[in-house]
Amino acid sequence: MVQKLAVIDSTISALAAPLPSADGAESSLKVDGLGALWTRPVQIAAEYTLFESAARTTTVNTEVTNTQYRGVIVVFDWTVEAATSTLTLHIEGYSTLGDDWYTILSSAALTAIGTTVYRVYPGAIASANLIADDWLPPTWRFRVAVGDADSSTYSANAILLP
């Protein structure tokens, strides 16, 4: 009897591997407590370019519509700065109720080139100016505020997390 159960367990494990679908997405096969089989889509992280690398002198932002992701990792790469440039980065959510943007995460003022990573995810261990324990709302934006009119060259990518 034990051998038959092992065969059944290994068969179910093989069936539970990701399955391709017609649209190229994957789904997984699950077995509930009653032995019924069902499938659900497997979400994977997606990468999104917020800003291409370019020189900028004013505050800029980009809005993103979020239909399926709970969180985001933003990788900000500042490559060229003027002598006195400062940048402050913001991840903001949009409230349709008040037609307002609200702050989810703000960085400390950046004063030197380099790569910094910001994270928003429910259940994340919050860290001031870097990580927020929060959900990514249906509409959000990434905003780069400048402290002066000096030119700075930077790029930003988002990794959207299921």
Is-contact 151 82, C-beta < 8 A? yes
pLDDT value for 40? 56
Read off the pLDDT of each residue in 35-62 and give the average, rounded to a whole number. 83
Read off the pLDDT of each residue in 133-141 and give the average, rounded to a whole number. 96
% of the chain at pLDDT higher than 70: 74
For the chain, domain boundaries: 2-41, 46-161
pLDDT higher than 70, residue 92: yes
46-161: what fold? Jelly Rolls (2.60.120)
The model's pTM is: 0.73
* Pick from 12-21, 25-34, 69-78, 93-102: least confident: 12-21
What single DSSP character describes residue 128? T
What single DSSP character describes residue 127? B
pLDDT band at 148 (very low <50, low <70, confident <90, very high): confident
**Which residues lie below 8 Å from residue 34, measured CB to CB, with a gap of 6+?**
none
Is-contact 158 69, C-beta < 8 A? no
pLDDT band at 41 (very low <50, low <70, confident <90, very high): low
Q: What is the mean pLDDT of the chain?
A: 83
pLDDT higher than 90, residue 153: yes
pLDDT value for 50? 97
The neighbour count for residue 162, using CB atoms within 10 Å, is 12
Burial code (b: 16+ CB inside 10 Å, e: under 16) for 126-150 equals eeeeebbebbbeeebbbbbbbeeee
pLDDT tens column, 19-33: 444 445 554 545 555
**Alpha carbons 84 and 52: distance in angstroms, whole number:** 22
Place of tokens 């068969």: 11
Is-contact 140 92, C-beta < 8 A? yes
pLDDT higher than 50, residue 119: yes
pLDDT band at 34 (very low <50, low <70, confident <90, very high): low
